[in-house]
Chains A and B, each alone.
Chain A
Amino acid sequence: MSLQYHLKLSPGDVAPYVLLPGDPGRVPLVASLWDESHEVASNREYTTFTGTYRGVPISCTSTGIGCPSTAIAMEELARVGATTFVRIGTCGTFQDRVRPGDMAIFDSAARYDGASRLYAPLGFPAVADHDVVEAAIAAGRELGLPFHVGTTRTADSFYAMHPRPGSSFDGYWQSSWRDHFEDLKRLNVVAAEMEASVILVLARIWGLRAGGVAVVLDNVLEVWGDSGEFDPHTQFEHGGDEIERLARLGSETVRILAERDAA
């Protein structure tokens, strides 16, 4: 087992520290912040760059959207020597105190995904590694970014489970969705996205380290307006600089971790 089936990576191709965005198109943007980088592989939704950031060996691999493709990325990255995983993504928020443009640092995830429960029962916590959380906090402070430490709700659906009809195609809706977002708000859940839980569960099971940071794009309780319609084009307006700040936060988190690991 050397060349990995989906990621097209072999041992030696990736650094121990890997940043994990969802979007393959963001990998070159992340790598553009590094001292030097090269494209290692690109297959399906998986693009990998490896290089150094402020002297620290680093890789970035896209996971694609959702926990199934993310679980495959984790399995194959771990096989070729990755040990520390930092998701860098975008998210919505359930909390009024969290504003668009703020950063969320995930110390844990609510497991509304399918893949992680095939590995471990739901009672098992999706929890970030303490070292990664502390490094992300230090990086957020150093960069002067507003951030919030807390739980993300990871779900396998983007358009489903919204409180009102108008999100899923053709008005499809279920009554059990009505209070789901408000319940998550009451549970003090900070963010909503689609990949963190399986990253945290798998790393924990294997004795590896993982965490996640994300830039907040919107408040998911406000996205429908009066119509009930959910249009991500208008709700998720973001230029390059949110993503660049996110990439910087992820890269700095890795640098701080590597320095603390070396000490």
Chain B
Amino acid sequence: MSLQYHLQVAPGDVAPFVLLPGDPGRVEVVASLWDQARHVAANREYVTFTGTYRGVPISCTSTGIGSPSTAIALEELARVGATTFVRIGTCGSLQDRVRVGDVAVFDSAFRADGASALYAPAEYPAVADHEIVDAAIEAATALGTPHHVGTTFSTDLFYVPEPGSAFGGYEQSGWRERYADVARTGALAAEMETGVLLVLTRIWGLRGGAVALVSDVAEERDESGVWDPQATFDVSEEPIRRLARLGCETIRILGERDRVRSTD
């Protein structure tokens, strides 16, 4: 087993530290911040670049949207030697104090996805590695980025479960208080990949964590009660570059701390 079936990467192609955006189109934006970068592979929704950032070897692989394609990316990256995974994504806020343009550092995930449930029972926690949480907080503080540490709601659904969100007004009665209940638990934001990332890295004894840019407020609706992500999402280039910078700095701090520890 050398060349991986979906990602088309082989041992030696990726660094131990990997950034994980969802969108393959963002990988090149991330790599543009590095000292040097090369395009390693592109297949389906998986694009991989490898290089160095401020002296630290680093890779960036897109996961595609959702937990199923993310689980495949993690399986294949781990097989070729990746050990530390930092998701860099966008998310929708569930709390008034978490504003568009802020950053969320996820120390845990509320598991509302399908893939992680096939690996581990629902009782099992989706928890980030504390070293990544600590490095991300330090990076966000140093970059002067307003940030919040907390739980993300990781769901396999983008257009539901909110009345007015699914096509044709389709809804289920159990959806009415779904997001309100999630918000009452104190979860900061909602997105679609972190839950499976945290579960799989924890199971394998690897390190996983996530930072995300708040790009919308989950309950925002137009006058007719319809939710249009095209109108409400702010995913312009400048905030995405800030997110990429935060991810890279998190890895630089992790890499430096690991080096100090190994020479202790």
> Can you name the residue of chain B whose Cβ is closest to the Cβ of A206?
B186
Give the residue among A108, A123, A124, A125 with the most B Cβ atoms within 10 A. Answer: A125
Q: Indicate the size class of the contact surface on chain B.
A: 20 to 34
Bound form: Cα–Cα A51–B109 in Å: 36
The 8 Å CB contact of A107, one of B112, B121, B127, B137, is B127
A112 close to B (CB within 8 Å): yes
Q: How far is the CB of A94 from chain B (nearest CB, A)?
A: 13
Please, which residues of chain B bring their CB within 8 A of the CB of A120? Answer: 185
Give residues 53-107 of B contacting A (CB, 8 Å): 107
State whether A123 touches B127 (Cβ < 8 A).
no
B133 close to A (CB within 8 Å): yes
* Number of A-B residue pairs with CB-CB distance less than 8 Å in the complex they form: 73
The 8 Å CB contact of B107, one of A122, A130, A151, A205, is A130
State whether B127 touches A108 (Cβ < 8 A).
yes
Bound form: Cα–Cα A110–B127 in Å: 10
> Can you name the residue of chain A whose Cβ is closest to the Cβ of B120?
A187
Given contacts A125-B127, A188-B204, whether A204 and B134 have CB atoms under 8 Å apart is: no
Interface size, chain A (Cβ < 8 Å): 28
State whether A127 touches B185 (Cβ < 8 A).
no
Given contacts A123-B110, A188-B205, whether A110 and B149 have CB atoms under 8 Å apart is: no
Q: How far is the CB of A192 from chain B (nearest CB, A)?
A: 13
Q: How far is the CB of A75 from chain B (nearest CB, A)?
A: 16
State whether A207 touches B123 (Cβ < 8 A).
no
Give residues 151-191 of A contacting B (CB, 8 Å): 151, 153, 186-189
Bound form: Cα–Cα A2–B176 in Å: 36
Give residues 125-158 of A contacting B (CB, 8 Å): 125-127, 130, 133-134, 137, 149, 151, 153
State whether B125 touches A130 (Cβ < 8 A).
no
Given contacts A120-B185, A134-B130, whether A110 and B108 have CB atoms under 8 Å apart is: no
B111 close to A (CB within 8 Å): yes
State whether B186 touches A204 (Cβ < 8 A).
yes
Q: How far is the CB of B160 from chain A (nearest CB, A)?
A: 16
Given contacts A151-B202, A187-B203, A188-B203, whether A125 and B109 have CB atoms under 8 Å apart is: yes
Please, which residues of chain B bring their CB within 8 A of the CB of A124? Answer: 110, 151, 185, 187
B37 close to A (CB within 8 Å): no
Residues of B within 8 A of A (CB): 107-112, 120-127, 130, 133-134, 137, 149, 151, 184-187, 202-205
16 contacts between A and B (CB under 8 A): A107-B127, A107-B130, A111-B123, A120-B185, A122-B122, A124-B110, A125-B151, A127-B125, A130-B130, A130-B137, A151-B124, A151-B125, A151-B127, A188-B204, A204-B151, A204-B186
What 5 A-B pairs have minimum CB-CB distances, sorted nearest first? A108-B127, A127-B108, A108-B125, A125-B108, A122-B122
